[in-house]
Chain A
């Protein structure tokens, strides 16, 4: 009974902010201590759907940046993590991978800004992707390094003796075995980019607007209803991804366990 009550309380705590945002995005007048809004309006959503608030374009841009960062970070980190796992100085290399976290996005952004300005990447969407990629790549290398155990190396070696060349080992063995883990990695690095504010602000320099930046802008201007609408949009892709991959962590663990067990 206590457990059920606790589960209910946790569920309510998790869902309540989303419900609050949804109500706020369609309310016109809502004052304390009334439980529900006095009056409703759909102006924010109409503006959004009509493209007047430019939110759709910002949403698509944000998606483009985050999907690119997720794909590139995961794609690059997979072979890197294998090289790190097989390296004699594995521990030292993994420690180096933590440097971007130690710096934090703000300090990393300041450090990168000068170089990116020289390269013409500041104020450009490619610059934002590149800056976020440095952070996400390091994160992905750390995450994926846990995949490479003795069994996975043995599977790769075995495939080699069964006529698979280096590319075929990657394509037919390593990628399929790692797929659930790669899915988790993509999702995590997507989120790193999706909720980033500091790097977009510093490297984008106001030229590149993402949904997170727009959200801060609405809060700054005091338009809470549009901010709530924007916040809901910000939540949408991660929620969809969570629903689609709600079994992914379990699958990843299962496959990893199976590979370890065999």
Chain B
């Protein structure tokens, strides 16, 4: 798939057990710098556990995690440079939009002028300018998600972990958020892992693609390999839509013929 040695993220032999059950089983993969690896998998296959383990929120029983040149499997979460974004946009309820986005910068004690400039720039990029003083509960779902993205991206993490971030949004907002994320992440050259259970989203968001099943990760050389693997269900999905389109065309032709005669 990619050169593991030169990857931004390199995971080797990662295994996790929770409550005596093996959740991640000997996982190895790499992610190239400035790219997004999209991982698809059914609920309960271990996607969230993988992200939380990479973020340092779950302790693995074995395996190595290298981020850039540093081994980070024993580094505490706040020193890893990895941001984990939950399925729902967990904004801090006691802070307004500006302070939510500024949170990571404030924790690093950056100068006030720098914080103001960077947050203001990020809010404009996120199309949240004018909502700085709003409290999280006064935002729509899409706005909350954008604020959560801004808060994560502004600290320029070495790795961004996104756990089905658009699953709770309506289709139109979801598409807009996908485009927005691609644009901002590309501008910042962010390296990301994007977990989803949606085929289309996997192919839209991922520069590289992988599939997770029963705690094991299968990575693909390219999108074509992913699409041709029967296990991913891409061909099945394509056939379904193709049949539907053919059927609709045949019905339309039949209606036209009937009307003509």
Interface residues, chain A, CB within 8 Å of chain B? 151, 154-155, 157-166, 168, 172-173, 176-177, 179, 255, 258-259, 261-262
Contacts and interface: CB of A to CB of B under 8 A. Distances in A.
24 contacts: A155-B92, A157-B57, A157-B77, A157-B84, A159-B92, A159-B103, A160-B57, A160-B77, A160-B78, A161-B55, A162-B104, A162-B107, A162-B151, A162-B155, A163-B78, A163-B108, A164-B104, A165-B78, A165-B107, A166-B78, A255-B94, A258-B137, A262-B89, A262-B93
A29 B146 CA distance: 72
Contacts of A164: 78, 103-104, 107
A161 B137 contact: no
Interface residues of B, number: 30
Contacts of B80: 161
B210 to A, nearest CB: 22
Given A159-B103, A162-B152, A163-B155, A154 B90 contact: yes
Nearest to B161: A161
Which of B95, B107, B136 is the most central at the interface, judged by chain A CB atoms within 10 Å of its CB? B107
B90 A151 contact: yes
Interface string B84-122: 101011111111000000011011100000000000000
A86 B91 CA distance: 22
Interface in B46-84: 55-57, 76-78, 80, 82-84
Nearest to A176: B94
A157 to B, nearest CB: 5
Give the top 6 A-B pairs by smallest Cβ distance, nearest first.
Answer: A162-B104, A160-B77, A176-B94, A163-B107, A164-B107, A258-B93
A151 B151 CA distance: 18
Nearest to B99: A172
A161 B106 CA distance: 13
A180 to B, nearest CB: 10
B17 to A, nearest CB: 15
Contacts of B77: 157, 160-161
B252 to A, nearest CB: 46
Contacts of B144: 262
Nearest to A260: B93
A262 B91 contact: yes
The secondary structure that dominates the A interface is helix
Given A163-B155, A172-B107, A158 B90 contact: yes
B102 to A, nearest CB: 10
Contacts of A176: 92, 94-95
Interface string B17-50: 0000000000000000000000000000000000
Given A168-B107, A172-B107, A158 B94 contact: no
Contact of A163 (B56, B92, B104): B104
Contacts of A163: 78, 104, 107-108, 155
A154 B86 contact: yes
Given A157-B57, A258-B137, A162 B93 contact: no
Given A162-B104, A162-B107, A163-B104, A177 B78 contact: no
Contact of A161 (B83, B91, B94): B83
B9 to A, nearest CB: 15
A176 B93 CA distance: 9
A157 B57 CA distance: 7
A177 B92 CA distance: 8
Contacts of A179: 94
A164 B76 CA distance: 11
A155 B94 CA distance: 12
Nearest to A153: B57
Interface string B110-149: 0000000000000000000000000011000000100000
A161 to B, nearest CB: 5
Contacts of A158: 84, 86, 90
Contacts of B55: 157, 161
A172 B78 contact: no
B90 A262 contact: yes
A177 B107 contact: no
Contacts of A168: 107
Contacts of A155: 90, 92
Nearest to A259: B93
Contact of B83 (A151, A162, A172): A162
